[in-house]
A = this chain, B = another copy of it.
Amino acid sequence: MHLEHQIIKPTLLLDAAKAQQHIARMAQKARRNGVRLRPHFKTHQSATIGAWFRQEGVEAITVSSVDMARYFSDQGWQDITIAFPVNLRQMAEIGALAQQVTLGLLVESVETAVALHQLPAPANIWLKIDVGYRRTGIDWQDEGLATAVAQVICTAPHLRLRGLLTHAGHTYAARGQTAVTAIYTQMLARLQAMQKALAQHGWRLEISIGDTPSASLVDDFRGVDEIRPGNFVFYDLMQTQIGACSLEDIAVALACPVVARHPARQQLVLYGGAVHLSKEALHEADGVSYGRIARLAAAGWEILPHRVVSLSQEHGIVQGDETLVAETAVGDLLLVLPVHSCLTADLMRHYLTLDGVWLQN
């Protein structure tokens, strides 16, 4: 059946070739640099897409929740880092995981380090370092706290102090390779300063970094042991705005039935709203965008200049032009390239490839 006829309601289309190309390119870049690629699987949350990484030689992964770690452990992944501060309320689940896989955990406080002494099995511990994003982690200048936490970790024989880990989320506010590289360079310098300080106590610590803008735009990872990008598997409009990818690199699009036309104001109404795309918005020079419009074409999709300008629970409003509104009938399909593919994928859960194959998980 032609793709067009398989779609009856909002459906997340996946250009598998593009995603596989992104995976291959990132794996190659990691190999060339001699760094471990530990991709973040929170973006796709899919066993099938996970297998594509395995085909590129990836053996270690990152997730953002205990539930996600459980899911991928059940899929056979043996080396999993939960890149989120330890949730002490899930210690039983974390302990069970530690008994089954090589588990990496993030620690940023003495309290959590103490609590981890109860773990029933070995785990790799990463000190979460804040290099300037200010979301969470030990301040990169707070050598005292880092040392105190590391000491508590090291008194437990089954906890292995593995390294320093950061997420330089402030690259998301950068625009272009020069700006992203400047943040990357500063981040690395800050981590290396901490690494050097802790080396005086005899700790030899790895450095793990992870954000798609840096991983996409930086070519030289000297000094780094591990990279953990996630979003790059699909990319999205946010990454385009940063300059980490082109619009053509985006590998997912929400296919939406057109349910109403408003020629007078050159708008179309899509069945596709906040419960499908998420309410993540992009603030562009000429207004807010909840997604960029595309339409099915012979090879994949063709990107149009129009945007989703308003979003309610199930409705998306497209600001088109005379031509688009004239050419589009109620019942037609339009595609929306998402602002933030991680959130859209989390909402949609399933993917339909351009070959018409459903990836159910």
Taking a contact as CB atoms under 8 Å apart, the answer to whether B330 and A88 are in contact is yes
Contact with B along A111-127 (1 / 0, CB 8 A): 11001000000000000
Taking a contact as CB atoms under 8 Å apart, the answer to whether B346 and A257 are in contact is no
Contact with B along A84-118 (1 / 0, CB 8 A): 11111110010000000000000011011001000
Q: CB of A271 within 8 A of chain B?
A: yes
Contact with B along A273-298 (1 / 0, CB 8 A): 01100111100000000000000000
Taking a contact as CB atoms under 8 Å apart, the answer to whether B135 and A343 are in contact is no
Taking a contact as CB atoms under 8 Å apart, the answer to whether B260 and A329 are in contact is no
Contacts of A317 in B (CB 8 A): 135
Contact with B along A164-205 (1 / 0, CB 8 A): 000001000000000000000000000000000000000000
Q: Which of A27-35, A218-226, A308-316 is the contact stretch? A: A308-316
Q: CB of A36 within 8 A of chain B?
A: no
Q: CB of A44 within 8 A of chain B?
A: no
Q: CB of A259 within 8 A of chain B?
A: yes
Q: CB of A7 within 8 A of chain B?
A: yes
Taking a contact as CB atoms under 8 Å apart, the answer to whether A271 and B84 are in contact is yes
Given contacts A134-B265, A265-B134, A310-B135, whether A89 and B278 have CB atoms under 8 Å apart is no
Given contacts A278-B279, A313-B343, whether A109 and B261 have CB atoms under 8 Å apart is yes
Given contacts A9-B90, A275-B343, whether A135 and B312 have CB atoms under 8 Å apart is yes
CB-nearest residue of chain B relative to A347? B347
Taking a contact as CB atoms under 8 Å apart, the answer to whether A274 and B89 are in contact is no
- A292–B50 Cα gap in the complex (Å)? 37
Q: Name the one of B109, B112, B271, B342 contacting A313, with C-beta atoms under 8 angstroms.
A: B342
Chain A's interface size range is 35 or more
- A317–B281 Cα gap in the complex (Å)? 19
- A343–B317 Cα gap in the complex (Å)? 18
Taking a contact as CB atoms under 8 Å apart, the answer to whether A89 and B42 are in contact is no
CB-nearest residue of chain B relative to A278? B279
Q: CB of A17 within 8 A of chain B?
A: no
Contacts of A280 in B (CB 8 A): 274, 279
A5 to chain B, nearest CB (A): 9
Contacts of A93 in B (CB 8 A): 8
Contacts of A115 in B (CB 8 A): 331
Further pairs besides A85-B259, A109-B261: 11, Cβ < 8 Å: A9-B66, A9-B87, A86-B259, A88-B330, A89-B331, A111-B329, A135-B269, A135-B315, A136-B315, A139-B264, A274-B343
8 A/B residue pairs, CB under 8 Å, sorted by A: A64-B313, A65-B314, A89-B257, A89-B331, A135-B310, A136-B262, A136-B269, A279-B343
